[in-house]
Amino acid sequence: MNTFRRNRVVLTTIGSLGDLHPYIALALEMKKRYIEPVIATSNTYRSRIESLGIEFRQIRPVMPEPETPEYRRMLDGVVDPNRGAEYLFKQILVPAVRGMYHDLSSAIRGADLIVTHPIVLAGPLIAQQSGIPWVSTVLSPASLWSAFDPFVPPNMPWLHKVLTYFGPSAAHAFEKFIKLLTNPWLVELYEFREELGLPPGGHPLFEGQFSPELNLAMFSNALCVPKSDWPTNTVVTGFPFYDKKDNESADPELLRFMEQGPRPIVFTLGSAAVHVAGDFYRESVAAAKLLKRRALLLIGNEENRPKERLPEGIAAFNYAPFGEVLPRAAAMVHQGGVGTTGQGLRAGIPMLVVPFAHDQPDNAARVTRLGVARTVGRKEYKAELVARELKELLLNPFYVRRAHQIGHRVRCENGAALAVDMILDRLNKERATRFELRTVA
């Protein structure tokens, strides 16, 4: 008698909540389809994952606990626009690759497929060494370098215009330069590949991160349409949305504030940059006062709470699910993380983006070109300029109309469902191949 066995899929990720929530969305969708999901990530997220009835497996690197001095020092290094990527790979990810490989070796036992995040560097190694079916994912267009749509470098945003002006040949030359620049960061990873008996493979930050079977671009077509030089097996799914904290709804007091007057402006720095906020919230309060607008500050932790008593019409909360709050907002100011950007697009509200590092300047440039946002540099974030930019976003009907149009488009997508459809299709193909081999044998 045949016993039904659910497919077991291991989802791997490392990073902030913006790197975790899309995979929670996929895991919850998988549970609806009788797939057994496992999320392999940092121990920091164990309780959050297990509270949803999802199996958790820990992988290295071991990250400092949030709110500790070690965590803030790490973030200072990671969000540095000039050396942040180098710090992330040389100091955190590459030294941990052997431990991460060991952890994933354990996590995939009995699994039918592995899904990898771009910076889980041991993911491609474990897939190639074990032969387990593999689906790679990217969360933002910045991970899909294209000569026809150049990346906006966080330390040289002006270079995007230069590369665009001189065309694909200049973008190709820049990509080669970045590969040469970053190769020394990855020496230990290359040595480990050799120890495993694997061929050299592609560059881990470029073509080496992509599965030859299926690559899911988990963002909206509104943010970026496919390019001819992307991996040929790439599918754009739309954003997989999830944003609850500890599986709870928004604070009732927060929702009451949202309904007590005109729609407020929401000021947030996501879940990572919020720990190195600097004067962001002080300047935000001053900008709201200049505009005489209500404002909601999502401060992340009490250290960011403004010392002065907040004026009437301005409230501060540590956290709120964007999906519940942003549809009640007039506009949002944020750091440009792709998860936060996606939530703003879905809500259909204009955005002011203050990018810090990594993919954030690229995301900011995309939504600005899309006509739903404006961008202010981190060092230029001062109340007077912020107030002027927000006034343009709120009073110019072009931005409001365009944000509504894009919001409707994004809400019509279901990124989690399409991504799981594609994963199921990959699993079914693998099952059919195994059946054919057994039949031939």
The predicted-structure confidence for 322-340, as pLDDT tens digits, reads as follows 999 999 999 999 999 999 9
Structure tokens at 134: 């593999």
**pLDDT in the model for residue 1:** 42
pLDDT on residue 244:
81
59 with 103: CB under 8 angstroms? Answer: yes
- Tell which wins on pLDDT, 72 or 437: 72
402: pLDDT strictly greater than 60: yes
Cross-strand pairs, 267 = 297, 333
Domains of the chain in start order, with CATH, are 7-239+414-440 (3.40.50.2000), 252-411 (3.40.50.2000)
Q: Do 399 and 186 form a contact (C-beta atoms < 8 A)?
A: no
Distances (CA, A) of 351 to 101, 316, 370, 403, 429: 40, 19, 11, 9, 42
In this prediction, residue 25 carries a pLDDT of 98
Give this prediction's pTM: 0.95
- What per-residue string of b and e applies to 187-221 under the rule 16 or more CB within 10 Å gives b? ebbeebbeeeeeeeeebbbeebbbbeebbbbbbbe
For residue 367, CA distances in Å to 76, 196, 355 come to 26, 42, 12
Contact between 300 and 274 (Cβ < 8 Å): yes
**For all residues of the chain together, what is the average pLDDT?**
94
Span 41-99, pLDDT tens digits? 999 999 999 999 999 999 999 988 877 888 889 989 998 988 999 999 999 999 999 99
Q: How confident is the model at residue 250 (pLDDT cuts 50, 70, 90)?
A: confident
- On the question of pLDDT at 4 being above 90, the answer is no
Q: Please, which pLDDT band fits residue 418 given cuts at 50, 70 and 90?
A: very high
* pLDDT reading at 231 higher than 90: yes
Q: Percent of the chain, pLDDT > 70?
A: 96
Asked whether the beta carbons of 410 and 239 are under 8 A apart, the reply is: yes
Distance CA 249, CA 108 (A): 33
- Rounded distance between C-alpha atoms, residue 362 and residue 101, angstroms: 30
Exposure string for 397-411, b = 16+ CB within 10 A, e = fewer: eebbebbeebbebbe
Residue 3's Cβ-count burial label (10 Å; 0-12, 13-18, 19+) is exposed
Which amino acid, one-letter code, is at 294? R
**Residue 437: per-residue pLDDT:** 59
Q: Provide the pLDDT confidence category of residue 272 given band limits of 50, 70 and 90.
A: confident
Closest CA to 294 of 268, 317, 315, 274: 315
Predicted confidence at residue 336, as pLDDT, reads 97
161-194 pLDDT, tens digit each? 999 999 999 999 999 999 999 999 999 999 999 9
Contacts of 197 (CB under 8 A, 6+ apart): none
Q: What's the pLDDT band for 384 if we cut at 50, 70, 90? A: very high
Are the CB atoms for 14 and 119 separated by under 8 Å?
yes
pLDDT value at 116 more than 60? yes
Looking at residues 337-352, what average pLDDT do you find? 97
Of all residues in the chain, the percent with pLDDT exceeding 90 is 86
Can you give the C-alpha Rg of the chain in angstroms? 22
Amino acid 235: pLDDT:
98
Q: How many CA atoms lie within 13 A of 409 on its CB side?
A: 18
pLDDT at 64: 87
What length is written for the chain? 441
